[in-house]
Structure 1
Amino acid sequence: MQATRVLLELAGNVVLLLWGLHMVQSGLTRALGADLRRVLGAGLRNRWTAFLSGMGITMLLQSSTATGLMVTGFTATGLVSLMPALAVMLGANVGSTLIVQLLAFDVSHVAPVLLLGGFLAFRRGGKTRSRDLGRVGIGLGLMLLALHLLLATIAPAENAPMLQRMMGMLTSDPLVAVLLAALLAWAAHSSVAAILLIASLAGGGVISPQAAVAMVAGANLGSAVNPIIEGPGGDGGNPAARRLPVGNLVNRLIGCILVVPLLEPITAGLQMLSPDATRLAANFHLLFNVALAALFIGPLPWFARLLVRLFPERIAVSDPAAALYLDRSALRVPHLAIANAVREALRMADTVDAMLRGALDVLHSDDRKRVQEIRRMDDVLDRLHDAIKRYLTQINVEDLDERDSRRVSDVLTFTINLEHVGDIVDRNLMEAASKKIRRKLSFSSEGAAEIAGMLERLSETQRLAAAVFVSGDLRSARALMREKEVIRDMETLATEAHFARLRAGRTESVETSALHLDILRDLRRINAHLVAAAYPVLDQSGELLPSRLKHGTTWA
């Protein structure tokens, strides 16, 4: 029972240590995150400054993982090459050892001061940064308190022979000790917490000094496993994203391979330096990472090239929502910029066509996955429309003549209408399709044919609208305008036929009446947005009436 109680208390104290560490990291990231990223970015000029930057920032954040996330972001966006990024991780690993060196001293008497000061800053701080730094103070206080409780829990361990025997069995084999510590560091997501626990166990005599050395090496290895498992590059991602975490893991793995055969002489040397078992674990942690940094800092360029070869860049599939033709250098020549915007607008037209044809597929198949695909296409439309709009508004108005100004207006109007069509398909048609699938409803064969006929006609109308937009052909514009009457007549006939089926008591028509009528109305709205592409051409030719009101009508 005593061994069980000690293990439970150890687990609780480790959780308190981890929570304090989390508060320090989150508080510093919120208070100084932008400044730290700026310092790190400035330090990535070469491997030496990168090493120092990684060491300094890790000492502040108390986490080499947090530093690694920052530099991974730089490498993922191509802002920095792999070699200085690897140097940052070497520095981060050394920085984490300096944290352990500091916390290994008995500074528990400072914990109340940090807790009180942090609490007052957090509750009374008028500025956000003051509150965040207060959070840091509370976190540091909790860490020191947790370490004090760990030592207090482990101190009577000599009175728990079962615990000592169990830990002795687990750590008698160096390889098992390495793996056990690696598992502990992986589970805790923190090498600092794992090594402080190992130092506490060694100081309390629960594990031997030789086992402590092996476990410190294992804890370094385990903390490098998390980015491999949880980081980018998996599940079909870009393998290049794994270069940095794999490089860091290889660094730690080589260190463990070198340490295990030399455990006895390493332990003897450390005991000559300091007989205190707690300091022995902290000192080896420092020696381990400094030695690996010295070993790897020289051949880093070669090592980086090897990682690039092992994890080649995967050519990403082009983002359908990324603008392809909006060349900013063409903004100085308005007519070229407008032509680029027209090409991008045609990509929007192609997306609308795909959405209309997809809606027809959903009508026949009731495929939930297809519904989600069509809804994602609306996001593509939104992003393309936003890109075109921002691009055209960057053209200097003074450089536009009357014709160019009118064409800019036409492009914006066309893309707005296409974006509205996408919204109707997404929010109305796909919502109706989802309800139909969810409730397991079926249109009557005649009703389904009416909706399918209107969708097929709209797909043809969309292609005609794109042709009118590009060519400005008057005859095509007239044909497009006539589509308004065609769709209106189709809607009227379909509505009348639907009511006839309702009067006849057709079960399918009764169950889907609201959906059926909503879809017919939405298809007519889509047609109105597509037909609008004819208005500029007809207006310029003088064939568009200024008003649909009868002449001579007055309003009171």
Structure 2
Amino acid sequence: MSGSIGWYSAACNAGASASSAGRVAMTGQTPTQILLALAGEVALLLWSVQMVTAGISAAFGSRLRAVLATGLDSRWRAFGAGVLVTAGLQSSTATAMMIASFSGAGLIALAPALAMMLGANVGTTLIVQFVSFDTSTLVPLLILAGYAGMRRFGRLPAREMAKALFGLGLMLLSLRLMQGTMGPVEHSQVLRTVLGSLSGDPLIALLLAAGLSFAAHSSLAAILIVMSLAATGVIGTPTMLAMVLGCNLGTAMNPLVQALKGNAAARRVPLGNIANRVLGCLLGLVLLPLLTRLVEQLALAPAQAAALFHLAFNLAMAALFLVPLPAIARLLMRVMPEPAPETDPSRSRYLDKAALATPTIALSNATREVLRMVDVVDDMLKSSLSAFEGDDLARVTAVSRADDVLDSLFNHIQLYVGAIPRTALSEADERRLSAVLVLAINLEHIGDIVEKNLMQMAGQRIHDQRRLPPEALERIADMHQRLRDHLRLAITVFISEDEMTARRIIREKETFRELEREAIESHLAEMRTGQREAVVVSALQLDITRDLKRIDAHIAATVHGLLEQKGALIGSRLLRAAE
């Protein structure tokens, strides 16, 4: 135990100040071992950033959207938020990844996101100024608090916030481990020889520092190395300045690489940030002779000069870009536009805002769009069955993505329907509008049941390596097919207002009640056997049956309006007590 504590302290201290203890611990490693360690630490960083983003999004949801929309609507406030967040996280890379993620999810507009990124670039320079500050005790506290919260809290927001704290602790730990791993590089004799020959080629020095910063996923680690090399006289002032520029460029490449697999909105912020860095580096190289004379005239210590130039560079780039940010945001929107609706299933295809002036046409557009939701739900039901029949987690992931598409379509539809003028609608149009909303709401609820309940059970089943017996799979497949048939019948009622088909859907709800009763009786029988594995599998079958019954109830709810209008549905199934 004491050895583990010593390793952890050495790693944290090496990350914070490149202490001699950390260097001694790492100098015995080969270059291959150092590269493998960096790869693992980068993977931990990326995973922890995803955990923080997912935890915050799940904990706050729409409230986070509202806070970001109101609190970061000003470029100047967003800039300040970027400075504070990065100073707290001690990583502009981590901040940039979260900003790109929030921007991609639509939680923050592009101009404030770019302003926040400029603030993050300045915030990381403050870390260099106060690099002696020891936050090693914060890492275990965050991890411990997060773990305890995930184990203790039952409410979703509190548990997800605990997950975010746990991820934040892992994020800081991974950054410090990377800084510790990079410690021996500054003492490499080969590196000293190479850098000594770069005094006449600042571009190569810039690219070398950019590669170093990119590999470490941290400009802080790279800047510390540059400061150390400058302090020991390995590099001169021109090379030092060029390498500081390169450190700023390299750390901007990490969020861009990470965002390449995201949507266009997620790529715009890192693209704008790296454009800022490239322009700054080009200006810095052009002005390098003038900057060199200025720094030498100040007669600062080499390490101090590197830190101050790092701060001055980022402040200058923020001053140049903050004012024209709206124009830059519009340019990025043109360069990376949203994909066409035909290629993005989550975007509406028929909700033409110009048609709102003619409510009957707008209502027809909303009807066409809600039928797209039907197709998505049908595909989700089909894929959810495959997730129970096989052990492919990709099926579970595909259903989750489909639910995101469904949620997006639902949001578009409800906003569009809400904008249709009611005064110009006839009584029949009002009923039609109500039917559109009822269908959209129930489809969205069905998607939530499939994604949050059925797919959670399917994923847990795959994780636990449990298989449902053939007769259970056959029963589940039959229920899925019944649901898909009922969904088609419900659409027939929605389009043609066929009362007989609506009555059939309501009558067949009894089939699912009977299937639920059979599942309960089967589960009770398995409980009497006392065989634990059989009881667990039986409970899983019962939970699946109940969720499928809930889906059927939502399908049936879409025809209630028509049956009530026809006087074919009573308000309550309870018998009235004699008065």
Q: Aligned residues, how many?
A: 426
- Contact persistence 1:181–1:219 (CA under 8 A): yes
Residue 213 of structure 1, CA deviation: 1.9
Q: Counterpart of 1:214? A: 239
User: Is 2:490 the counterpart of 1:465?
Assistant: yes
Query: Residues 163 and 374 of structure 1: is their aligned pair in 2 closer, same or farther, counting only changes over 3 Å?
Result: closer
Query: Residues 406 and 189 of structure 1: is their aligned pair in 2 closer, same or farther, counting only changes over 3 Å?
Result: same
Q: Counterpart of 1:521? A: 546
Query: Residues 444 and 366 of structure 1: is their aligned pair in 2 closer, same or farther, counting only changes over 3 Å?
Result: same
Q: Secondary structure at the match of 1:320?
A: coil
- Contact persistence 1:171–1:177 (CA under 8 A): no
Q: Counterpart of 1:420? A: 445
Distance 2:420 2:528 in 1: 59
- Contact persistence 2:222–2:247 (CA under 8 A): no
- Contact persistence 1:185–1:219 (CA under 8 A): no
- Contact persistence 1:417–1:530 (CA under 8 A): yes
Q: Counterpart of 2:509? A: 484
Query: Residues 219 and 472 of structure 1: is their aligned pair in 2 closer, same or farther, counting only changes over 3 Å?
Result: same
Query: Residues 232 and 338 of structure 1: is their aligned pair in 2 closer, same or farther, counting only changes over 3 Å?
Result: farther
Alignment map for 1:299-448 (pairs within 5 Å): 315=339, 318-448=343-473
Query: Residues 214 and 463 of structure 1: is their aligned pair in 2 closer, same or farther, counting only changes over 3 Å?
Result: same
Q: Secondary structure at the match of 1:463?
A: helix
Q: Counterpart of 2:299? A: 276
Distance 2:298 2:405 in 1: 66
- Contact persistence 1:182–1:223 (CA under 8 A): yes
Aligned-CA RMSD value: 6.1
Residue 357 of structure 1, CA deviation: 1.0
Distance 2:472 2:305 in 1: 78
Alignment map for 1:70-149 (pairs within 5 Å): none
Spell out, residue by residue over 1:472-491, the C-alpha distance to the aligned partner (whole angstroms, 9 max, x if none): 12343344334334444555
After TM superposition, the structure 1 stretch with the greater mean CA deviation from structure 2, 463-472 or 490-499, is 490-499
Residue 177 of structure 1, CA deviation: 6.2
- Contact persistence 1:353–1:463 (CA under 8 A): no
Query: Residues 547 and 233 of structure 1: is their aligned pair in 2 closer, same or farther, counting only changes over 3 Å?
Result: closer
Residue 558 (structure 2) aligned to one of 518, 525, 533: 533
- Contact persistence 1:171–1:207 (CA under 8 A): no
- Contact persistence 1:447–1:498 (CA under 8 A): no
Distance 2:305 2:449 in 1: 65
Q: Which TM-score applies when normalising by structure 1?
A: 0.56
- Contact persistence 2:516–2:545 (CA under 8 A): yes
Query: Residues 190 and 354 of structure 1: is their aligned pair in 2 closer, same or farther, counting only changes over 3 Å?
Result: closer
Q: For 2:442, give the aligned amino acid.
A: N
Spell out, residue by residue over 1:244-297, the C-alpha distance to the aligned partner (whole angstroms, 9 max, x if none): 45555655666787799xx8x997x669x8383659968x969x989x99xx99
Query: Residues 359 and 389 of structure 1: is their aligned pair in 2 closer, same or farther, counting only changes over 3 Å?
Result: same
Distance 1:163 1:501 in 2: 67
Query: Residues 398 and 456 of structure 1: is their aligned pair in 2 closer, same or farther, counting only changes over 3 Å?
Result: same
Query: Residues 211 and 540 of structure 1: is their aligned pair in 2 closer, same or farther, counting only changes over 3 Å?
Result: same
- Contact persistence 1:195–1:219 (CA under 8 A): no
Q: Secondary structure at the match of 2:552?
A: helix
Query: Residues 368 and 211 of structure 1: is their aligned pair in 2 closer, same or farther, counting only changes over 3 Å?
Result: same
Distance 2:532 2:224 in 1: 71
Distance 1:462 1:35 in 2: 43
Identify unmatched segments of 5+ residues in structure 2: 1-13, 21-67, 131-186, 322-327
Distance 2:544 2:110 in 1: 52
Residue 233 of structure 1, CA deviation: 6.9
Query: Residues 332 and 276 of structure 1: is their aligned pair in 2 closer, same or farther, counting only changes over 3 Å?
Result: same
Identify unmatched segments of 5+ residues in structure 1: 1-6, 14-29, 42-56, 109-161, 298-303
- Contact persistence 1:341–1:392 (CA under 8 A): yes
Query: Residues 502 and 442 of structure 1: is their aligned pair in 2 closer, same or farther, counting only changes over 3 Å?
Result: farther
Q: Counterpart of 2:75? A: 37
Distance 1:545 1:8 in 2: 70
Q: For 1:353, give the aligned amino acid.
A: D
Query: Residues 403 and 191 of structure 1: is their aligned pair in 2 closer, same or farther, counting only changes over 3 Å?
Result: same
Distance 1:366 1:9 in 2: 44
Q: For 1:274, give the aligned amino acid.
A: Q
User: Is 2:476 the counterpart of 1:451?
Assistant: yes
- Contact persistence 2:72–2:78 (CA under 8 A): no
Q: Secondary structure at the match of 2:465?
A: coil
Alignment map for 1:250-261 (pairs within 5 Å): 251=279
Residue 469 of structure 1, CA deviation: 0.9
Residue 457 of structure 1, CA deviation: 1.5
Distance 1:319 1:493 in 2: 42
Q: Which TM-score applies when normalising by structure 2?
A: 0.54
- Contact persistence 1:359–1:374 (CA under 8 A): yes
Spell out, residue by residue over 1:12-38, the C-alpha distance to the aligned partner (whole angstroms, 9 max, x if none): 79xxxxxxxxxxxxxxxx9x9858615
